[in-house]
Structure formats: structure tokens, C-alpha cells
Chains A and B, each alone.
Chain A
Amino acid sequence: GENVEQHPSTLSVQEGDSAVIKCTYSDSASNYFPWYKQELGKRPQLIIDIRSNVGEKKDQRIAVTLNKTAKHFSLHITETQPEDSAVYFCAAGLFSGGYNKLIFGAGTRLAVHP
């Protein structure tokens, strides 16, 4: 089955700096890679996702890159702000017909200091 590894487990940056979180997956068949942000006591919220037919996707200060050959994908947050502080989870899944479960990484606790 799929296995997702995520690094680092904690990340501390100064406001305005960039933050990068990296994930690797094991199942080369996986074709969908979302990133979720979870604030304390709240539900995970999708912030960006990428499909295997795309190498990079950007949405304002957030970008995700995918290297299918190496089986890794990364989240990039630029110009970080204190409200970016949260736990970020990457996930990988195979979406084919009705089969679409996601396997999550262990999470990265991001702290942005003013």
C-alpha cells in the first residue's frame, strides 16, 4: 500500500521568510497530491492540490511542485505570516473510478514568528 513520509516535523520561520515542506510517496500509481492545513482543534482544510499530469501549481503565496520520477512533492509558502502557523499535512492517493482514498503524511508543525 501507499506510504507517505513528510519532513520536517517542525518548522520555525520568521515572518516574511519562506517555508518548504517535503513529502515522498511510495506508490508510483498515486495520481493526486493534496495539502491540508489544520489549526488547533479544527478540521483539516485543503489549501492546494496537484495531479500527476502537472509539475507545478501556484495559488498566491502557496505553490506545490511534483516530481513523479523521484516520487516526491513539496509545499512552498512565501512571505509567511503569523496566521500561516498551523499543522500542514501532505497526502497521496490513487483516484481511479470510485477508488480514491488518501494516505496522509505525519504532519509538519509550522510556527511563524512576528
Chain B
Amino acid sequence: GAVVSQHPSWVICKSGTSVKIECRSLDFQATTMFWYRQFPKQSLMLMATSNEGSKATYEQGVEKDKFLINHASLTLSTLTVTSAHPEDSSFYICSARDLTYEQYFGPGTRLTVT
């Protein structure tokens, strides 16, 4: 099946710094990638939809200036958490869609802001 990777798998950063998370589709071209946030024992909350070569579409309540998304190629999307604060600590998961309906999820990135 299709494989999606994320890097890093976990990161600890200090409050006020920025963190970049990469999402790659390894064996297929993904015209659309999605970024989710998941709190412990909770559901996947869609943050934004990212289409290659165009601006991301953010869900209501998600600050686009804080969560910068770039989808520069058909295999790579990045999420940058700017000026991170402790409340941004969470599990961030990306997914990528191929030509079918299915979304393939990455392994997730655990962000801890101290």
C-alpha cells in the first residue's frame, strides 16, 4: 500500500520558537495532503487541506499565520508551528490522498513545547 512518512517523529522545543514538520508520500504522488491535530484520547481534528502549488485551506478556528502550510511538490507538504506555546503541544498527523478516495496517514509527530 501507499506509504506516508513524517519527520520528525517527536520534537521538544522552547516556547516562542518555531518548529517545522515534514510529510512525504514515498511511493505515490499526492495532489492533496491533510494536516490533523490529535489530543490524547481524542479524535482527529482537521486543521487544513493542502493542495500542491496552491494555498492551503484552513478549517474554522485554525490560525493560518500560526500554522504555516506549504505544499511545494506532489510528494512533500510541511507544517510550521510558529512562535510555539505550551498549548500547541499535541500529536500532529498528516495524510495524503492518491487518485482514489483513500487517505493514507503518516505516523504522526509528537510536539512538546516547554
Q: Which residues of A contact B (CB under 8 A)?
A: 1, 32, 34, 36, 42-46, 49, 51, 89, 95, 98, 100-107, 109
The 9 A-B residue pairs with the shortest CB-CB distance, nearest first, are A43-B105, A104-B44, A106-B43, A104-B43, A44-B105, A43-B107, A107-B43, A32-B101, A95-B101
A100 touches B46 (CB 8 A): no
Beyond the given A44-B93, A44-B105, A98-B51, could you list 6 further A-B residue pairs with CB under 8 A, ordered by the A residue number? A1-B60, A42-B107, A43-B105, A46-B103, A98-B32, A105-B43
Partner of B106, one of A43, A95, A98, A105: A43
Chain B binding surface, main DSSP class: strand
Task: Name which residue of chain B comes closest to A102, CB basis.
Answer: B103
Interface residues of B in 89-105 (CB under 8 A from A): 93, 97, 101-105
Beyond A43-B93, A101-B34, whether A49 also contacts B42 by CB under 8 A is no
A49 touches B43 (CB 8 A): no
Beyond A34-B102, A95-B101, whether A101 also contacts B46 by CB under 8 A is yes
Interface residues of B in 69-114 (CB under 8 A from A): 93, 97, 101-108
CB distance from B30 to the nearest CB of A (A): 12
A49 to B104 Cα, complex, angstroms: 13
The count of A-to-B residue pairs whose CB atoms sit within 8 angstroms is 48
Partner of A101, one of B42, B49, B60, B108: B49
Q: Which residues of B contact A (CB under 8 A)?
A: 31-32, 34, 41-46, 49, 51, 60, 93, 97, 101-108
B107 touches A98 (CB 8 A): no
A45 to B49 Cα, complex, angstroms: 19
Task: Name the A residues within 8 Å of B104 (CB-CB).
Answer: 46
A102 touches B46 (CB 8 A): yes
A49 touches B34 (CB 8 A): no
A43 to B41 Cα, complex, angstroms: 13
Beyond A42-B107, A98-B51, A100-B32, whether A51 also contacts B101 by CB under 8 A is yes
A103 touches B46 (CB 8 A): yes
B101 touches A100 (CB 8 A): yes
A49 touches B101 (CB 8 A): yes
